[in-house]
């Protein structure tokens, strides 16, 4: 019985660790920006950096003024830099933290790029 308990405990530990790793591997983050969801498919949130112009509304559903709930886990606000003026959003994804291909969607536009390990850059025009 003692052997069974040890084996069972090891199995649970291994299974739990595997699930935690899978959940963290490619979380496909989303961010509400000026009423539209930015969705990044096949990238870990820590690999994503976004630059927005000053005065841009972004964050969760309420902060970013989206009408629908988040379609994926929210990207942390720490991934966002706000500076400058204009109407362009820059999305940068570190290839080491993404699978291939990477899909980025915003406001009806979708870009798909193969990941070769370098930083991928995507630009979107923001309509406020």
Task: Give tens-digit pLDDT for 76-126.
Answer: 999 999 998 889 999 999 999 999 999 999 999 999 999 999 999 999 999
Q: In the structure encoding, which two tokens stand for residue 98, read together? A: 């993404």
* pTM given for the model: 0.78
pLDDT value, residue 71 = 94
pLDDT above 50 for 54: yes
């Amino acid at each position: 019985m003692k052997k069974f308990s040890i084996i069972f405990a090891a199995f649970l530990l291994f299974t739990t660790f595997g699930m935690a790793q899978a959940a963290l591997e490619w979380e496909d983050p989303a961010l509400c920006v000026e009423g539209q969801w930015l969705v990044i498919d096949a990238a870990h949130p820590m690999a994503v950096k976004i630059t927005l112009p000053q005065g841009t509304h972004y964050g969760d559903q309420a902060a970013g003024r989206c009408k629908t709930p988040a379609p994926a886990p929210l990207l942390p606000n720490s991934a966002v830099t706000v500076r400058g003026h204009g109407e362009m959003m820059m999305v940068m994804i570190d290839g080491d933290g993404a699978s291939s291909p990477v899909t980025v969607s915003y406001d009806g536009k979708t870009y798909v790029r193969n990941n070769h390990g370098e930083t991928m850059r995507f630009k979107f025009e923001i309509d406020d």
